[in-house]
Amino acid sequence: MEIVRQLQGPLHAIFVPVGGGGLIAGIAAYVKRVRPEVKIIGVEPSDANAMALSLYHGKRVMLEHVGGFADGVAVKAVGEETFRLCRELVDGIVMVSRDAICASIKDMFEEKRMLATFLPEEHGSFKKFTELVGRMNITEFKYRYDFNAKDALVLYSVGIYTDNELGAMVDRMELAKLKTVNLTDNDLAKDHLRYFIGGRSEIKDELVYRFIFPERPGALMKFLDAFSPRWNISLFHYRAQGETGANVLVGIQVPPVDFDEFKSHADNLGYEYMSENNNEIYRLLLRDPEV
Ligand SMILES: Cc1ncc(COP(=O)(O)O)c(C=O)c1O
C-alpha cells in the first residue's frame, strides 16, 4: 500500500521474498486490485524454491531438503491458500543463489553513494556541513586535517534516499559555496581511496579518542554541539555499524589548559569513549615522527 501510494515515479514491478507465500499473496491481492498492470515477482533462494517448483508443476511440491541460509523463507512447502492466490496473481519467480544473497547484503552495507565536499579549514565549518547534509543519514565520513591546505576534503557516504534528495543536498552545498563532487560512479574512490584518506600530520595538542555513537538521528550533531567550534576537529572517521551504533575515531585539538573542560563535555555526552593517544599504531600512522 505504501509503495503504491508513496512512489512518485513509474512502478513496473514489485519483488517480494517468498517463504510459505503469505506475504506475496497479500501484496499481490491488494496491488492487482488497485494497479493490475504492476507485475508481482517472487524471489526465492534456489535451495528453498518450493513456490517456483509448485507453480511450475501446477501443484504444491514438498521439498526434500531446504536451504536455511535465508531462514525467514526456508520452508518445505507453500501454503494451500497462498498457492491458490499465487497461481492466479503472481507474474513470475526469480531464484537467487547464496552468493547473490551475500553480494546484495554486502552492497547494502557498503554504501554506494559516495561524495566528496571541500570545506574551508576554519572553526565551525564541520558543523555547518552537517547542517547542510540535513536529514540525509551519513553512514561513513572521513576527514583528516592538513594545516597546509586551504580547504579540507571530506569523503562521505549517505544513506540511500531518492536521487532528487541527493541532488537537493548537493545543491545546498554548492549554494553555501562548498564544492561537492559525486563519486558514486568512481570505483577507484569507492574501492580503494576511501581507505587511504588522511595520514600523518604535525598537529598541535591533538587528542585522539574512539567513541561509540548511538544509532539515533542527531547523534552526530549532539557530538559536534559539545565540542565544535570551541575546539578544532582534526580527524574524523565515522562508520555506521547498524543497530549497535557507530565506531568513530576523532582527533580534537585541545590545549592542555582546556583539558578538564573538554573532559567534562565528553563525559556529559553520555557516549562510551576511550583515549587512543598512546596507541602505538596511531603514533606510527597518523603522527608526524618529529612530534
Ligand atoms: C525475511 C522474510 N522474508 C519474507 C517472508 C515472507 O514469508 P511468507 O512467504 O511465508 O509470508 C518472511 C516471513 O517470515 C521473512 O521472515
In three-state form (DSSP H/G/I as H, E/B as E, the rest C), the secondary structure along 118-135 is: EEECCCCHHHHHHHHHCC
Q: Which residue of 15, 18, 23, 81 sits with most ligand 1 atoms within 8 Å of its CB, as the best mutation to test the pocket?
A: 23
Q: What pLDDT was estimated at residue 199?
A: 67
Of all residues in the chain, the percent with pLDDT exceeding 90 is 48
Of all residues in the chain, the percent with pLDDT exceeding 70 is 94
* Statement to judge: residues 101 and 128 lie in one domain: no
Q: How far is the CA of 111 from the centre of ligand 1 (A)?
A: 25
CB 136 within 8 A of CB 158: yes
Asked if pLDDT for residue 197 goes beyond 90, the answer is no
Report the pLDDT averaged over residues 209-224: 86
For the CA of 22, the closest atom of ligand 1 is: 11
Q: What pLDDT was estimated at residue 111?
A: 56
* Statement to judge: residues 72 and 163 lie in one domain: no
* Statement to judge: residues 95 and 114 lie in one domain: no
What CATH number is associated with residue 135?
3.40.1020.10
Gap between the Cα atoms of 287 and 66, Å rounded: 54
Q: How far is the CA of 12 from the centre of ligand 1 (A)?
A: 22
Asked if pLDDT for residue 137 goes beyond 80, the answer is no
Gap between the Cα atoms of 118 and 178, Å rounded: 6
Non-local (6+) Cβ contacts of 290 within 8 A are: 202
Residue numbers of the domain that contains 114 = 110-286
Cα 30 to chain centroid, rounded: 31
Q: Is residue 291 part of a domain?
A: no
Report the pLDDT averaged over residues 220-238: 86
Asked if pLDDT for residue 109 goes beyond 70, the answer is no
Nearest to 203 by CA among 260, 251, 169, 132: 251
Nearest to 21 by CA among 98, 78, 60: 78
For the CA of 79, the closest atom of ligand 1 is: 10
Q: How far is the CA of 34 from the centre of ligand 1 (A)?
A: 23
Nearest CA to ligand 1 atom 14: 72
Q: Which of 82, 108, 134 is the last residue of a domain?
A: 108
Report the pLDDT averaged over residues 91-119: 85
Report the pLDDT averaged over residues 29-43: 97
Q: How confident is the model at residue 269 (pLDDT cuts 50, 70, 90)?
A: very high
Report the pLDDT averaged over residues 239-262: 86
For residue 265, which amino acid is it? Answer: H
* Statement to judge: residues 54 and 183 lie in one domain: no
Integer CA distances (angstroms), 208 to 48, 261, 271, in order: 49, 16, 15
Q: What pLDDT was estimated at residue 277?
A: 85
* Statement to judge: residues 142 and 257 lie in one domain: yes
Q: How many domains does the chain have?
A: 2
Q: Which residue of 40, 73, 80, 104 sits with most ligand 1 atoms within 8 Å of its CB, as the best mutation to test the pocket?
A: 73
More confident residue, 283 or 129: 129
More confident residue, 47 or 123: 47
Gap between the Cα atoms of 140 and 126, Å rounded: 15
Nearest CA to ligand 1 atom 12: 72
CB 32 within 8 A of CB 87: no
* Statement to judge: residues 14 and 131 lie in one domain: no
For the CA of 70, the closest atom of ligand 1 is: 1
* Statement to judge: residues 124 and 75 lie in one domain: no
* Statement to judge: residues 73 and 143 lie in one domain: no
Report the pLDDT averaged over residues 15-36: 97
**What average pLDDT does the structure give for the chain?**
87
* Statement to judge: residues 101 and 167 lie in one domain: no
Asked if pLDDT for residue 115 goes beyond 70, the answer is yes
For the CA of 21, the closest atom of ligand 1 is: 9
* Statement to judge: residues 128 and 77 lie in one domain: no
Asked if pLDDT for residue 161 goes beyond 80, the answer is no
Q: How far is the CA of 19 from the centre of ligand 1 (A)?
A: 5
Q: How far is the CA of 163 from the centre of ligand 1 (A)?
A: 29
Report the pLDDT averaged over residues 8-33: 96
For the CA of 16, the closest atom of ligand 1 is: 4
Q: How far is the CA of 91 from the centre of ligand 1 (A)?
A: 18
Residue ranges around ligand 1 (CB below 6 Å): 17-24, 72-73
Q: How far is the CA of 276 from the centre of ligand 1 (A)?
A: 44
Q: How far is the CA of 23 from the centre of ligand 1 (A)?
A: 6
Report the pLDDT averaged over residues 155-179: 85
CB 179 within 8 A of CB 267: no
**Phi, psi angles (nearest 5°) of residue 26:** -65, -45
Torsion of CA 217, 223, 228, 233, to 10 degrees: -110
